[in-house]
Amino acid sequence: MLGGKIMNVKIEAIHFNPDSKLEEFITEKVSKLSQVADDIIKAEVFLSLERSQSKNYDSKTAKIRIEVPGSAIFAEKKCKSFEEAIDTGLEALRVQLLKRKEKQK
């Protein structure tokens, strides 16, 4: 990996096209996971939008899958914004990566 960046970040949006700002935000945030684990092979981010009848807003879901040697870790978060869902999802993954690192020691 060059410069501690995850080279392969795949972003898929279901039934909509994310703007380039959102894609840049996701790539930048996901790349920061390499500070916790430098053996990340690839990252996949799936975005979906769900209309909510009971709430006053659309629910934005981010599913994030990180592939590391021998396994994959996963987080799924629903929030009011994709940015919030990405942030909370990546925090959950960061914790999982730290636990994995501790087990390896």
Q: What is the model's pLDDT at position 12?
A: 96
Architecture of domain 9-104: 2-Layer Sandwich (3.30)
Output 20 or 55, whichever has higher pLDDT.
20
Which residue is associated with the tokens 């979906």? 48
Which residue is associated with the tokens 């919030």? 84
Per-residue pLDDT reduced to its tens digit, 46-100: 999 987 666 666 789 999 999 999 899 999 999 999 999 999 999 999 999 999 9
Enumerate the domain spans of the chain.
9-104
Q: Mean of the pLDDT values across residues 19-24?
A: 96
Q: What is the model's pLDDT at position 3?
A: 43
Q: What is the model's pLDDT at position 54?
A: 65
What confidence tier does 1 reach under pLDDT thresholds 50, 70, 90? Answer: very low
CA distance 82 to 25: 10
CA distance 50 to 31: 27
Q: What is the model's pLDDT at position 7?
A: 62
Q: Mean of the pLDDT values across residues 13-39?
A: 93
CA nearest to 37, candidates 90, 97, 89: 97
